[in-house]
Structure 1
Amino acid sequence: MSRTRVALRLIALLIMLSSCGQKFSGISWNFLDRNKLEVRETNFEYFSGKAKINYKDDEHDVKAKANVRIRKDSVIWISFSAIGIQGARCLIDKDSITILNLVKKEYYVFNYDSLSKRFNFDINFEAIQAVALGNLIKEKDRNDEVEKNEDFYVLKQRSGNVSIHNFVSPKTMKIERVEMLEPDSKNTAVIRYYDYQMVEDQAFPYSAIISLFYKANAGTLNTVIEFEYNKAQIESKELKFPFSIPKKYERK
């Protein structure tokens, strides 16, 4: 598998990383004042969770379990396993993304600058963290547009050449869908958040589906990732993020 394709699948997996056990109160908002659209975001210092992941593309259909730990604005740590065997470990920090393949004894390192150029989108730690939590990928600014349809407030943003449409529930003020389009390549990503439940005093999406359509040598490909938490909690104590690369592992 080419490094480019590995990177694309990695980004697909991370994007999804990141809805109704409790009722939410509605928000009264004057639509004429666009600057007052406030999306409710998940906020904490430490987070941990357990989830099931189903990854499917033109070649693979993989089911795995994942343990996730996050220190907000610092690091995301993920351990993947299948049939009780730990298969991979991923560390995402401010500088890069590193993946250990524990089965093949090899590892990958991706820096954000090269990934951003490759996909024509500003990929960084903050964007990955936002998607994992159901938060805005790009901070609101005065150039954003807001529309209202029958079901959602639609916050329209741009990041370079990529358009981002955030569909926000008027009842919960949480994001339920994100649509991204890179017009030159026609590459698209759609993220859908479901089953929002309260984790302490934070509304958190327990389920997500990501659909990616992108061009490759074989034509337009589709990758779908389904993600479902069975446990999610905000931690009051400091978490550990064990991660080291054995000397015998080969860098790919």
Structure 2
Amino acid sequence: MNRFILCLAGLLIFSACSKKLAIFSSKSSQLNLNNLEYDNLSMKSKIKYKDENRDLKATANIRIKKDSIIWFSLTPGLGIEAARGVVTRDSIIILDKIHKEYQVLKVSDLSEKYHFDFDLKLLESIIIGNLIWPITDEDEIKKEDGYFKVQKSDGDLSVMNFIGANSMKLEKLQAVSDTSKNALFIHYTEFLKEEDKILPSEINMQINYRSKRNKAKKVSKVQIRHSRININKEDLNFSFSIPDKYDPM
């Protein structure tokens, strides 16, 4: 359960060559992206996690204060809260409410495991479907088969963004590390409208990586389905504390 919770906390993830390509200005402002603007939001979600050893499900309540904190609560079944935690700019704190234990981790631990620069902003972007790596004047943009395809490099990452020509939202993303060959794939398959704002209701993410211990190939998959979303709710509570009776993991 602890490893499952950690994966959720951190994680609390193409077309025919013969067709003619249309080249556009690489300035993101000219694409009129439908990025979600918000100060805070809350959502209820169904989460599935799968790797070679686990196939787990949970209901999650998630609260986000932009660029500040992600608060989450996980209920695997029977209506019993199993875990609660927060992600800040530099740390992840997890309460195992079943065993009365807690764990404090660094966000950089996720980066070391998967060889991607995981941080609070990236996790926020994945959950709400905003563009993860901003478009710059150096990026190449092509229009093909209903997508604006934005190719860019970020450090040792080769990134391809697929922005829907109709939705003007990020619909697919693939990022591959040139050094480790680890890969992140994200597919937003359904979108909904809340208060004139468009955001994804289903997120499918896959991370391909090699074990640090024996270099074996590993695959982790996460599916998130948002069922209820509130944007800029005034009385949203982000309070969090570690009970005195909890022991460190």
Please give the range of the TM-score, normalised by the shorter of the 2 chains. 0.7 to 0.9
Structure 1 window deviating more from structure 2 (157-166 vs 116-125): it is 116-125
Residue 82 (str. 1) matches residue 80 (str. 2): no
Answer whether contact 2:26 2:137 (CA < 8 A) is retained. no
Partner of 1:27: none
Deviation at 1:94, TM superposition (A): 2.1
| Structure 1 outlier segments of 4+, above 4 Å | 5-8
Residue 251 (str. 1) matches residue 248 (str. 2): yes
Q: TM-score, normalised by structure 1?
A: 0.84
Partner of 1:224: 221
Residue 52 (str. 1) matches residue 46 (str. 2): yes
Distance in 1 of aligned mates of 2:152 and 2:247? 41
Secondary structure, counterpart of 1:129 in structure 2: helix
Residue 204 (str. 1) matches residue 199 (str. 2): yes
Query: 1:9-63, CA deviations, whole angstroms, 9 ceiling, x for partnerless residues?
Result: 356632x5xxxxxxxxxxxxx9432222342101111211111111111111111
Partner of 1:136: 131
The 5 A counterparts of 1:224-243 are 224-243=221-240
Letter in 2 for 1:43: E
Unaligned segments of structure 1, at least 5 residues: 17-29
Distance in 1 of aligned mates of 2:113 and 2:191? 33
C-alpha spacing 1:12/1:92, structure 2 compared with 1 (3 Å): closer
Structure 1 window deviating more from structure 2 (219-228 vs 201-210): it is 219-228
C-alpha spacing 1:211/1:115, structure 2 compared with 1 (3 Å): closer
Partner of 1:167: 162
RMSD: 2.4
Aligned length: 236
Distance in 1 of aligned mates of 2:215 and 2:113? 18
Q: TM-score, normalised by structure 2?
A: 0.85
Answer whether contact 2:188 2:204 (CA < 8 A) is retained. yes
The one of 86, 103, 127 aligned to 1:108: 103
The one of 139, 152, 165 aligned to 2:147: 152
